[in-house]
Amino acid sequence: MSLRLFAATCAVKAGRFLQQLPVFLLRPRQLVRFSQGSYARSSAVDSWSDPELVLGGLFEEERQLLDRLPEKRGDLLLLGIGGGREALVFARAGYRVTGVDFVAPMVARAMENACREGLVLEGRVQDISRMQPDGHRYDVVWFSCSTYSALPGRKLRVRVLKRIREMLAPGGQVICMFYWNPDLQKRRRLWRLGKVFAWIALGNRHCEPGDLLKDYREFLHAFGERRDLEAEFAEAGLEALEFVILPDSHNGGAILRVRSPVDGGG
């Protein structure tokens, strides 16, 4: 390899590291605010509220998960309502839908879209990472798209799942959508370098292999092993009834329920 080619290769690798630097520099709460700021931009609100997207309905993974739910009625809590794409489908299916999002204009657009379609939704502006049980019990709690992966760090994800478990009605289920990309889990060299930087800079010491800034606008954790997901679910007192992970797709999902006392949960 020539010196010029070697220098170019090193520059590309350095560029990749610098693009992902906020993952290691920002702490978990700061990463949440970083993503919130990106989604609060008017261009992002317009994109997620685009009629073609909103009226396009569920993705294939989501349709399969909805079809596997035993009943299509009761109270459904949607975490990450966006412009209302999933919420409209759930409302038409017969659920009483409450949608939360940490961007107020997103909630407002979702409510407008529902009203335009003659549907009723309840919308709340709330940071999912700080959500607390309010005494209401839901038959279904649905993590929208990659919302579960948008929670930085296993510790925070498990904490949120534990709170969700307290919000389930008897027999209730959780639909956990996540970002699935096994290839990103394999990039350990970049992660090790970032981990060192995180400790030196007092940054995100909870960073994990698979953490990234997707499109340089939002934090996501890419999962690549079912056992990693199952371990997090079990720590929160939940178990996966089934997974839906389609080939050539980065959207995965699982149906969860509260673990029985026999299994060590509850």
pLDDT tens for residues 200-259? 888 888 889 999 998 888 999 999 999 999 999 999 999 999 999 999 889 999 999 998
In the numeric block, which tokens belong to residue 171? 């027999």
Q: Where are the domains of the chain?
A: 18-263
Backbone torsion region of residue 256, taken as left when φ is above 0, otherwise alpha when ψ lies between -120 and 50, otherwise beta? beta
In the numeric block, which tokens belong to residue 243? 């997974």
Q: What is the dihedral of CA 222, 227, 233, 234, to 10 degrees?
A: -160
3-class state of residue 64 by DSSP: helix
Report d(CA 154, CA 265) in Å as an integer: 18
Question: How many degrees, rounded to 5, is the angle at CA 110 between CA 108 and CA 115?
Answer: 95
The residue-averaged pLDDT of 151-173 equals: 97
Statement: residue 265 has pLDDT above 50: no
Cα–Cα separations (whole angstroms), residue 63 to 51, 67, 133, 147, 263: 19, 6, 28, 17, 29
Residues near 16 by beta carbon (within 8 Å), at least 6 away in sequence: 190
- Smallest CA-to-CA distance from 18 within 205, 206, 213 is with 213
Look at 4-13, 89-98, 187-196 and tell me which has the smallest mean pLDDT. Answer: 4-13
pLDDT tens for residues 8-63? 444 444 455 556 788 888 999 999 999 999 999 999 999 999 999 999 999 999 99
pLDDT tens for residues 111-136? 999 999 999 999 999 999 999 988 89
Q: Which residues pair with 178 in a beta bridge?
A: 252
Q: Which residues pair with 218 in a beta bridge?
A: 214
The model's pTM is 0.90
In this prediction, residue 10 carries a pLDDT of 44
Backbone torsion region of residue 44, taken as left when φ is above 0, otherwise alpha when ψ lies between -120 and 50, otherwise beta? alpha
3-class state of residue 124 by DSSP: strand
CATH code: domain 18-263 is 3.40.50.150
Report d(CA 180, CA 38) in Å as an integer: 22
Report d(CA 35, CA 13) in Å as an integer: 24
Residues near 10 by beta carbon (within 8 Å), at least 6 away in sequence: none
